[in-house]
């Protein structure tokens, strides 16, 4: 009887473990911070454009080879990684474009460019497909997609030049099949591209059992398509980007980690390795840094990051949001709006070892609070820190509510770019009374806009007191922010 009970117990335990953990999958991911080869000639020929793109794919192949040597199953390359981002007109980018077939679920097309001779007219699409097949790896890359139409045909909309041009992510599985095509939803000063109408969330499922949603750069700041993907239970995302860094606050890796943390998702982010202005890539698991890289210098870089990720597709974001979206497509100039005023100068202090204090600031219905302790081990830097607030339009781009403690060069230049600090903080707490409709991105960075080691701070989601805090930080501090994307009515 005892033996029977023990066997029964083991059987029940096995069933419990199977039910509770069967959706957890480990996979090895790779992302690349890539400095694109480019040609700035505005009158480049198709043959010259192909030479540029193949030069970048040559670099891609070296990364793919090195990633597979580390057992990577999926690799992500950055936005504009095949040709750079120096285009001012639709005609300038045209030689770089290929007509990418629609293989999303609604079309049900089965496309393997590597195994189909008819795709020789799409040489870059075909070559990427062959690399996926050759190295047995899932490849996510960014390309330019073009489809021709007749502007004189009244049956449907068509641009005046007769071309739909899209900033596009493509995904190939390990056999070279094109399994996803996604058009960027939110453009950032990109007159060469069209925006898709309607917005179409795109996901793909790999042979290793993980379903990924796709986001491109500026998409990450808006409710769609990410909310629809999160509502489907998707918890893993690929993210291609050519980010525009605005240190100390909104650098690429801070946004990436903040997104992963607030959505409890895994993010594979690949950025442009051009300099401090665009760099930033990483692999994140529910806000924990698996791998990250940010280049704070003026030089270029070429970096491969590889890490193991645990996926749980059963998880669902508590902050997914289906409210109607305010669409700000920044593709034809700046949206006219005024940035709210802030106190001049803002509340501030000069850092000295052992200094303790607290500051408050309000604008409209947003109230921000910060308390801080400078470490006794900090050098006597006399660096200036200011407490700033925003309750309105961020840089004429989107609605935001922000509470931020930042390092300033001087009080007179507190709104300028700042990457350097030597002040060591012992402890801090920053919070604000953000509404539940905001998507909150917690951001903390150290000297050179590097992310702190895991576990150096915690995040509070207490209603009316959302923020970040640390009682034993003992690191340099460039920025602490709660960056709220206003997605409510």
Q: 177: closest CA among 234, 123, 136?
A: 136
Q: How many CB atoms lie within 10 A of CB 489?
A: 7
Q: How far is CA 293 from CA 229, 254, 257, 279, 444, in A?
A: 26, 11, 12, 8, 15
- State the first-to-last Cα distance of the chain, in angstroms, to the nearest integer: 64
- Category of 461 on φ-ψ map: left (φ > 0), alpha (ψ -120 to 50) or beta: alpha
DSSP state of 246: B
Pair of tokens at residue 383 = 């660096």
Q: Give the DSSP per-residue string, 172-240.
A: E-TTS-EEEEEE-SS-BS-TT-PPPSS----EEE-TTS-EEEEEEGGGGGSSTTHHHHHHTT--EEEEE
Q: 226: closest CA among 272, 277, 263, 257?
A: 263
Pair of tokens at residue 219 = 């998409």
Maximum C-alpha span of the chain: 85
Q: 241: closest CA among 261, 229, 223, 259?
A: 259
Q: 72: closest CA among 34, 33, 27?
A: 27
Exposure string over 231-268, b if 16+ CB within 10 A, otherwise e? eeebbbbbbbbbbbbebbbbbbbbbbbbbbbbbbbbbb
- What angle do the packed helices 123-135 and 46-69 form, to 10 degrees? 10
Nearest-angstrom CA–CA distance, 252 and 282? 9
130, 184, 414, 426: which is the annotated catalytic residue?
Answer: 184
Q: How many CB atoms lie within 10 A of CB 354?
A: 11
114, 217, 368, 408: which is the annotated catalytic residue?
Answer: 217
Is 403 a catalytic site residue? Answer: no
Is 456 a catalytic site residue? Answer: no
Does the CA dihedral 201-205-211-215 come out positive or negative? negative
Nearest-angstrom CA–CA distance, 35 and 17? 45
Is 79 a catalytic site residue? Answer: yes
SS3 50: helix
Nearest-angstrom CA–CA distance, 387 and 380? 20
Hey, which residues are catalytic here?
A: 79, 184, 217
């Amino acid at each position: 009887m005892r033996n029977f009970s023990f066997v029964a117990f083991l059987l029940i335990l096995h069933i419990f473990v199977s039910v509770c953990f069967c959706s957890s999958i480990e996979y090895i991911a790779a992302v690349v911070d890539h400095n694109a080869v480019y040609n700035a000639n505005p009158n480049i020929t198709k043959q010259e454009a192909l030479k540029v793109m193949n030069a970048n794919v040559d670099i891609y192949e070296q990364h793919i080879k090195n990633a597979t040597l580390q057992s990577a199953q999926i690799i992500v390359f950055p936005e504009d990684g095949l040709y750079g981002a120096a285009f001012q007109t639709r005609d300038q980018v045209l030689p770089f474009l290929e007509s990418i077939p629609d293989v999303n679920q609604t079309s049900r097309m089965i496309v393997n460019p590597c195994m189909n001779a008819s795709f020789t007219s799409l040489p870059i699409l075909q070559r990427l497909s062959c690399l996926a097949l050759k190295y047995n790896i899932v490849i996510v890359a960014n390309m330019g997609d073009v489809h021709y139409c007749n502007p004189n045909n009244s049956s449907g909309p068509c641009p005046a030049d007769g071309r739909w041009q899209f900033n596009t992510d493509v995904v190939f599985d390990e056999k070279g099949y094109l399994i996803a095509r996604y058009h960027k939803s939110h453009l950032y000063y990109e007159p060469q591209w069209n925006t898709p109408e309607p917005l179409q969330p795109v996901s793909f499922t790999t042979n290793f059992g993980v379903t990924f949603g796709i986001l491109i750069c500026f998409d990450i700041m808006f409710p769609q398509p990410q909310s629809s993907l999160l509502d489907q239970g998707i918890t893993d995302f690929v993210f291609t980007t050519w980010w525009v860094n605005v240190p100390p606050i909104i650098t690429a890796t801070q946004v990436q980690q903040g997104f992963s943390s607030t959505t409890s998702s895994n993010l594979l982010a690949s950025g442009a390795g051009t300099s401090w202005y665009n760099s930033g890539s990483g692999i994140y698991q529910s806000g924990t840094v698996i791998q990250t890289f940010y280049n704070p210098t003026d030089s270029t870089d070429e970096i491969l990051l590889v890490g193991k990720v645990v996926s749980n597709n059963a998880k669902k974001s508590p902050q997914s949001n289906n409210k109607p979206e305010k669409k700000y497509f920044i593709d034809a100039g700046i949206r006219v709006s005024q940035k709210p005023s802030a106190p001049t100068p803002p509340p501030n202090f000069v850092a000295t070892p052992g200094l303790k204090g607290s500051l408050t600031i309000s604008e409209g219905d947003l109230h921000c609070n910060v308390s801080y302790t400078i470490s006794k081990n900090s050098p006597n830097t006399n660096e200036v820190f200011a407490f700033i607030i925003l309750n309105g339009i961020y840089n004429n781009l989107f609605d935001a509510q922000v509470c931020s403690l930042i390092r300033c060069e001087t009080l007179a230049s507190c709104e300028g770019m700042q990457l350097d600090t030597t002040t060591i903080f012992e402890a801090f707490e920053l919070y604000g009374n953000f509404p539940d409709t905001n998507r909150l991105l917690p951001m903390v960075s150290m000297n050179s806009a590097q992310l702190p080691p895991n576990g150096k701070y915690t995040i509070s989601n207490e209603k009316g007191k959302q923020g970040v805090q640390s009682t034993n930080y003992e690191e340099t501090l460039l920025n602490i922010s709660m960056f709220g994307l206003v997605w409510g009515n």
